[in-house]
Chains A and B, each alone.
Chain A
């Protein structure tokens, strides 16, 4: 019995080590992955919708999430006629006057 104590201590240390490793590994895993098994498709799509709606609020630099308002403004601006940009006639007049 006296000789078995070191073996018991080694086994206890191993069990504690494996337990700690498992806890750390679980913590590193994303919450969505952990919970995904318990969710059906509708719930997951609903979650996506909620995330997208949150992203609809104006965010500078969020190239992948344009707000409909900013998009509509850009579209309407593109529909406008471009202004006259030629200065040929004025240059010609300037050259002619002597």
Chain B
């Protein structure tokens, strides 16, 4: 009887103590409690994130538009901005409105997928629009510059016939012509936009000479 009671006690101790000891000894095995996902909060977070990114791209588009708007071409010439910039701006504005109106994760995921696909397909649109316009402005400026320098040459001859000093005028014309030639050479050899930019900058260096020529001719 005593032996039976001892055995039962020992069994009871084992049954109660072992699981307890197991929990203490290996606490990490117990799976952590999963917090409930707040879908509404997640939707709002994603809306904010998508909206921020779309606005950043709109800023790039608007900066490019502003740059082209402020880039004049010489009188008598005209260059036009292609419609792709405007289309991209309209698309992004629409997507922004869709993001704002979205209420579910599924809607947001669909907008995200659609927007990413569109942006990948049109990622060169901004660069191409800017480059095409600046190329046109450059060509028109070179043409006008050559016309003006030819006119300045004729005026120099007139001044010479009248016995006036044309040293400065001729020097300015020569300097401007050299820069035009250098710029055109750089432009023709350019294989990247960076190199074309160098040609634009070289051409822009003729501005002080044109200013000086104009001052002499209008004296």
Q: Which residues of A contact B (CB under 8 A)?
A: 41-42, 45-46, 48-49, 52, 58-68, 70-88, 90-91, 93-95, 97-98
Selected interface stretch from B1-9, B19-27, B30-38, B146-154: B146-154
Is B134 positioned at the interface, with any CB of A under 8 Å from its CB? Answer: yes
CB-CB contacts below 8 Å: B69-95 with A: 70-77
Contact across chains for A76 and B204 when beta carbons are under 8 A apart:
yes
Which residues from chain A contact B134 at a C-beta distance below 8 Å?
78, 82
Contact across chains for A91 and B119 when beta carbons are under 8 A apart:
yes
Query: Do A68 and B213 form a contact, CB below 8 Å, given A79-B207, A87-B119, A91-B119?
Result: yes
Contact across chains for B158 and A60 when beta carbons are under 8 A apart:
no
Is B101 positioned at the interface, with any CB of A under 8 Å from its CB? Answer: no
Closest 9 CB pairs of A and B: A79-B204, A63-B76, A66-B144, A68-B214, A75-B207, A66-B74, A85-B126, A85-B127, A78-B200
Shortest beta-carbon distance from A82 to chain B in Å: 6
Contact across chains for A78 and B141 when beta carbons are under 8 A apart:
yes
Contact across chains for A71 and B74 when beta carbons are under 8 A apart:
yes
Contact across chains for B154 and A78 when beta carbons are under 8 A apart:
no
Smallest CB gap from A81: residue in B: B197
Contact across chains for B46 and A75 when beta carbons are under 8 A apart:
no
Which of A46, A85, A90, A98 lies at the interface centre, i.e. has the most chain B CB atoms within 10 A of its CB? A85
Shortest beta-carbon distance from A72 to chain B in Å: 5
Contact across chains for B141 and A68 when beta carbons are under 8 A apart:
no
Contact across chains for A77 and B76 when beta carbons are under 8 A apart:
no
Q: Would you list 19 pairs from A and B whose C-beta atoms are within 8 A, ordered by A residue? A: A45-B161, A48-B158, A58-B75, A71-B141, A72-B210, A74-B141, A78-B141, A78-B200, A79-B201, A79-B204, A82-B130, A83-B64, A84-B63, A85-B64, A86-B123, A90-B53, A90-B119, A91-B123, A94-B116
CA distance A62 to B77 in the complex (A): 8
